[in-house]
Amino acid sequence: MREFAKAVKITDKVYWVGAIDWSIKDFHGYSTDRGTTYNAYLVLADKITLIDTVKAPFREELMSRIKSVIDPGKIDIIVSNHAEMDHSGSLRQVVAEVKPEKVFASAMGVKTLNAHFDLDFEITPVKTGDGISLGNMELTFVETKMLHWPDSMFTYLKEEKILFSQDAFGMHLATDRLFEDENEPDIIHWEALKYFANILLPYCPQITRLVESLPDLNLDIRMIAPDHGPIWRKDPMVPVKKYTEWAKQKPNKKVIIIYDTMWQSTALMARTVADGVMESGAEPHVIHMGSKDRSFAATMMLDAGGLIVGSPTLNNNIFPTMADVLTYLKGLRPKNLIGGAFGSYGWGGEAVRQLNEYLEDMSVELVSEGVKVKYVPGNEDLQQCRELGKNVGEKLIELIGKK
Ligand code: FEO
């Protein structure tokens, strides 16, 4: 077996044995400009336990890290908190190498893992409130259905007060600084927000219910150890508070203007719509899809109150980059947005109608029918664009004032 960097001790009895993926740039459509980590944790209890594994290509790295602490054959228990392949892709082979006494997952986890892999071992299902003894330590399980898969669950290690939270409270950030407080706060905030906006946004009601139920579980939490990115230890409840806030999708004065352009007419319209938003006292953020990606747009949308979209008409359709970003944003099921559409055209001019349909499907309240401009905007057209931005901004400020 090739040797990689060693495990990192995070408490007296717990080691990080995961892998850092410095080069991944696209995680099933989510742009991971800063790479990611696949975290796995080794608990040195009487019954030695591995919590989660890693994506298949990183298995050797995981095993090498485990080996830097103990003989992997001494692992008694493996817990799979989440069946998605970035955490379970190496499970089958790890089990074959380690030969643990038991493997645990949620009931949905058992089904999902069996559906993905040709497993030749039994997995024991557990549910919320179930606990297992590791001899001198104890694990408790909490199912977190749809956060973000039906199988997802947390595992709590009572003696070390660590909540192993799989994807929840994580972020895509490749770093060897294993704790959140060792990293730049602005990067931590942005990447945690980006993760929430791109992965968890459709499940805000479930998040709210989970966070509200946490006190009933009486978990004394010293650290939250997710499956991606750094571990929260300075104030471990910070991500819980952030999730509580973000799940409300409370609009603020921010209006995002997402557009693409062929010959700069729609670009000029976008800038003018932004001028109108500024006049209203709201805050415009212009996002050009020729230079930004869909994950950035989703992150910017999280705390926005306004969404205005613009596209030229190309072959009787909206521009492909706009179809991409709107399909993605629609799937995230955002709430509490008002907005409108604009676009230039040569002869057909279907884009604005199609943009409006996307917005309606996203339950965005439209302030007008939108602005359509033939070929190149003149002064009157630009005035309409300014009014569109101003109307969205003014209505947003009025709505925020009423809340
Ligand atoms: Fe990190 Fe849902 O997998």
Provide the token pair at 4.
């990689």
pLDDT at residue 167 greater than cutoff 80: yes
- Summarised one tens digit per residue, pLDDT across range 276-289 is 999 999 999 999 99
Radius of gyration of the chain (CA): 24
d(CA 391, CA 10) in angstroms, rounded, equals 53
Kindly report the protein residue whose alpha carbon is nearest to atom 3 of ligand 1.
Answer: 84
What is the distance in A from the centroid of ligand 1 to the CA of 167? Answer: 5
Task: Give the H or E element holding residue 382.
Answer: helix 379-402
What is the distance in A from the centroid of ligand 1 to the CA of 258? Answer: 28
Residues with CB under 6 A from ligand 1: 82, 84, 86-87, 148-149, 167, 227-228
On whether the CB atoms of residues 138 and 116 are closer than 8 A, the answer is no
- Summarised one tens digit per residue, pLDDT across range 189-201 is 999 999 999 999 9
- Summarised one tens digit per residue, pLDDT across range 79-136 is 999 999 999 999 999 999 999 999 999 999 999 999 999 899 999 999 999 999 999 9
Specify the ligand 1 atom closest to the Cα of 166: 1
The per-residue pLDDT for 320 is 98
pLDDT band of 171, cuts 50, 70, 90 = very high
Kindly report the protein residue whose alpha carbon is nearest to atom 1 of ligand 1.
Answer: 167
Contacts of 62 (CB under 8 A, 6+ apart): 17, 18, 19, 40, 53, 54, 90, 94
Task: Give the H or E element holding residue 107.
Answer: helix 107-116
The per-residue pLDDT for 384 is 98
- 3-state class (DSSP) for residue 129: coil
d(CA 403, CA 370) in angstroms, rounded, equals 26
Q: Strands 30-31, 153-157: parallel, antiparallel or unpaired by DSSP?
A: unpaired
0.85 exceeded by the pTM?
A: yes
The per-residue pLDDT for 1 is 66
Which DSSP symbol is given to 150? Answer: T
d(CA 153, CA 146) in angstroms, rounded, equals 9
What is the distance in A from the centroid of ligand 1 to the CA of 84? Answer: 5
Beta bridge partners of 78: 50, 103
Mean pLDDT, range 58-73, rounded to an integer: 97
Q: For residue 124, how many C-alpha atoms fall within 13 Å in the half-sphere facing its CB?
A: 13
What is the distance in A from the centroid of ligand 1 to the CA of 250? Answer: 26
Kindly report the protein residue whose alpha carbon is nearest to atom 2 of ligand 1.
Answer: 84
On whether the CB atoms of residues 43 and 211 are closer than 8 A, the answer is no
Contacts of 235 (CB under 8 A, 6+ apart): none
Which amino acid appears at position 248 of this protein? K
